Amino acid sequence: MGKRLSPTDSMFLVGETREVMFHVAGLMQFSPPPDAPRDYMRGLMDEVRAGIAAHWPWNVRLRTPNLLSNPAQGWIEDDKLDLEYHVRRSALPSPGDERELGILVSRLHGYPIDFHYPPWECHLIEGLEGGRFAMYIKVHHSLVDGFSAMRLLTLALGADAAERDRALFFAIPPPVRGPKPDPVGLKVAEVLGAARKQYGATKMVARAIAKVARRDDEGLISPGQAPKCILNARIGRNRRFATAKFPLARIKDLAKHSSATINDVVLALSSAAIRKYLAERDALPKESLVAM
């Protein structure tokens, strides 16, 4: 049974090129259990090969992978799903440091996803200092956005290190919903609902345009008015990835005392890092950069 893509998700496929890739990713680092054997990572891979069933959204692929811009694009279940293709094992020259990890992740993140398969990959990376390993997960934004992906991944993680019986993230069934409705009634409801949403969206956009037109706000930037910046160069395929560690407790404390959210603090850190980067290269624009 297929599922139609939403207009927003379809946009990420239409804009996909060899240089501009719309996948998102996450990197997590772990320490193995104190009693873990030397072949602990091999055991994880053996668990993947043991015939575990993948669940939505990790078990679907595009209906027409050769035509990403298909207006009738949708997700269909992949009955030939090969988890050994999606879950891969890599190793750094032990003991690997953060720089070497960044180089490997940069390479993994720099190549596009193959849409003939469900559009996600999971790389188990061993060889980090202290016997640690990392998990790098890449998923296309048309399938799952970054926030939803992290929420799904969190379901596979426990707060107690002794809790080791949780399923891998792709093997967790989706939440059980209510009784399945009548298919004919569902189709009619979908059509009516889509029409209502379209009508409501049109009204909302019209109101927003009228509101902007009435404003005399110097903060609004029209196309071509953003300051020139060395970051606004032609995008290529290569990506560079680096890590920086901050205590989560400190970030939460900053958010609490500044009446802000954790995202606000992370955004401020990112903004400060960009400013420092530009200043060190004597390339800091006189005017503030424009956020999209």
**CA distances (Å), 268 to each of 249, 254, 271, 280, in order?**
16, 11, 5, 18
Exposure string over 249-265, b if 16+ CB within 10 A, otherwise e: eeeeebbeeeeeeeeeb
Contacts for 85-89: CB closer than 8 Å, 24+ residues apart: 85/117, 86/58, 86/117, 86/118, 86/120, 86/121, 86/122, 86/170, 87/45, 87/48, 87/121, 87/122, 87/123, 87/124, 88/121, 88/122, 88/123, 88/124, 89/41, 89/45, 89/123, 89/124, 89/126
Edge-to-edge strands of the sheet including 87-96?
23-30, 133-140, 120-128, 87-96
**Residue 135, beta-bridge partner list:** 28, 124
Q: Is 141 a catalytic site residue?
A: yes
| Both structure tokens of 51 | 């015939």
Q: Given 55, 109, 141, 257, which residue is catalytic?
A: 141
Q: Are 121 and 58 in contact (CB under 8 A)?
A: no
DSSP 206: H
**Residue 27, beta-bridge partner list:** 136
Q: Which residues are catalytic?
A: 141
